[in-house]
Every structure is written in structure tokens, then in C-alpha cells.
Structure 1
Amino acid sequence: MRTEANIFIVPGVFFFIAGTAYGIFTHWSEWVGFTAILLTGGMFAMVAVYFKMLEKRHGQRAEDREDAEISEDAGLQGTFAPWSWWPLVAGLGAALAFVALAVGWWIMVPAAVVGVIGLVGWVMEFSHGQHAH
């Protein structure tokens, strides 16, 4: 996870420096761009911190070592929901929420209902049916 963390640390530092430079060059009069650039750096920093925490929790993986063999990563890599339609339902709820921002706030109620149904269905998918554990 060290490589993944470094991939996100570098742009995070860049955006913090660029945001500060932006503030200096605009004489701190344009706060929207300054804030947006700093928040972009913050998002990169959050992902980098998450990868650092994963590295600390799980240790080194085979792809983090120079002397690793390909066979060390063979086998099951995770649990995935096959043929799942629930992400589509959750995405429909998110799309309706974005439509609510443009059209009218009353659409947010059905968007929340559809989104919660999709999220609950996706989370509970392995608790019942063909792929129950």
C-alpha cells in the first residue's frame, strides 16, 4: 500500500502548494478558487491517509516487495456480488438526488427512498437468497 499512498500524497502536496500560490497571486481576494484547490488537496490527502492506515493494518503485500513471487497472490482476492442489480438502484437514487438540485427539492424525498432501498439491498445481498453466507 506504500506505492498507492505515495501516488496520492504527491498530488495532495501539489494542490496545497498550488492553493497557497493561488491565494498569494490573487491577493487573497478570490476565496472560491483558493478553497476549491485546498479541498482538492484535502481529498487526495484523505485517500493517502486511508492507504497508510491499510498498510499499517495489513502489512506488506506481495506486490510491495521486490523479491515476491507471482504465486503469492494466487487464490481468492475478495468477495464480490455476482450479478448484482443493487448498485444500479443506488445509482438511480443518486441521479434523482442530483436532479433534485436542478429541478426542485421535492424530488429529494423519492431520491432518498430509492437510494436507501438500493443501499440496504446492496448491503444485505449476502444475507439472503442464492449467495447467502
Structure 2
Amino acid sequence: MKVEAKIFGACTVFFGLVAPAYWFVTSAGEHGGDWTGTSALTMTALLTLMVTFYLGFHAQKMEPRPEDRLDAEIADGAGELGFFPPYSWWPLWAALTLGTIVYGLAIAAWWLAIIGVALGAVATCGLVYEFYRGEHAH
């Protein structure tokens, strides 16, 4: 994780330098600085700083992964990497219900948004409990 912390640290430095430069360049106009872009760049710098501290903190507490060691062999990274779920239709239904909710709110059709929320609850339950029943049950 040390490599990832260094990458995010470099991004933090970059965004920390770009934010005041962006404000300076945009403030040369007659309307003053572009506060929207400046605040977005500043928040991006702060968010990458937060990720840098998180990764750096955990990198100190854990033993180095094979990716972090210079003397590691390819075989050191062999083995199970984790559980990756098979195909699923539930994310499609969750996205469609979210689209229904947003569309209902956009056209002020509250009845459509309420139907979307009800169907979204079903889609969320199906997504969460997918591995408790059916073909992929554990």
C-alpha cells in the first residue's frame, strides 16, 4: 500500500499547486476568480490527502504485500484473491428504479417517484440477499 499512498500523495501535491494557480489565472478577468473551479480543486486536494493518510496509516500496520516488496517473486502473489460474484441482474433493476425516481422528480410526477421508491426497495433487497437464495446461495 505504500506505492498507492505515494501515488495519492503526488496527486495531493499536484492539486494543491494547481488550485491556487487556477484561482490566480481566472482572477485576471474582470469578474474576479472562478470560485467554483477553485473550490473543486481544493476539495480534490483535500480528498486525495485523506486517501493518502488512510493508505499510509494502513501500510505501516500491515506486512508488505508481494507488490510492495522489491525481492518478491511472481509466485508470491499466487493464491485466492477474494470472492468475485458471478453475473447478476439486480444492478440493472436498481439502476432502472433510480432512473424512474429521478425522472419522476424531474417532471414533478410524485406518483412515479413513489412507485420508483417501492420498486427500488425490492431491487435493493434482491441485490443484498442475492447470495442467500437461488443458484448462488452460500
TM over 0.5: yes
Cα offset, 1:104, TM superposition:
4.1
**Is residue 113 of structure 2 the alignment partner of residue 126 of structure 1?**
no
Q: Is this contact kept in 1: 2:24–2:33, CA < 8 A?
A: no
Matches within 5 A, 1:1-133: 1-25=1-25, 26=27, 29-56=33-60, 58-96=62-100, 99=103, 102-104=106-108, 106=110, 108-133=113-138
Cα offset, 1:94, TM superposition:
4.2
Partner amino acid for 1:88? L
More divergent stretch after superposition (19-28 vs 32-41): 19-28
Cα offset, 1:78, TM superposition:
0.6
Deviations 1:39-89 (A, max 9, x none): 222333343344334434543111110111211221210111112222223
Larger radius of gyration: 2
- Aligned-partner Cα distance in 2 for 1:61–1:80: 20
More divergent stretch after superposition (46-55 vs 95-104): 95-104
Structure 1 unpaired stretches of 5+: none
Partner amino acid for 2:4? E
| TM-score in terms of structure 2 length | 0.70
- Aligned-partner Cα distance in 1 for 2:69–2:19: 35
| TM-score in terms of structure 1 length | 0.72
Instruction: Count matched residues.
Output: 133
Q: Is this contact kept in 2: 1:87–1:122, CA < 8 A?
A: yes
Deviations 1:4-55 (A, max 9, x none): 2222221222112211222344176432121111122233334334433443
Structure 2 unpaired stretches of 5+: none
Change in 2 beyond 3 A, CA 1:80/1:20: same
More divergent stretch after superposition (65-74 vs 114-123): 114-123
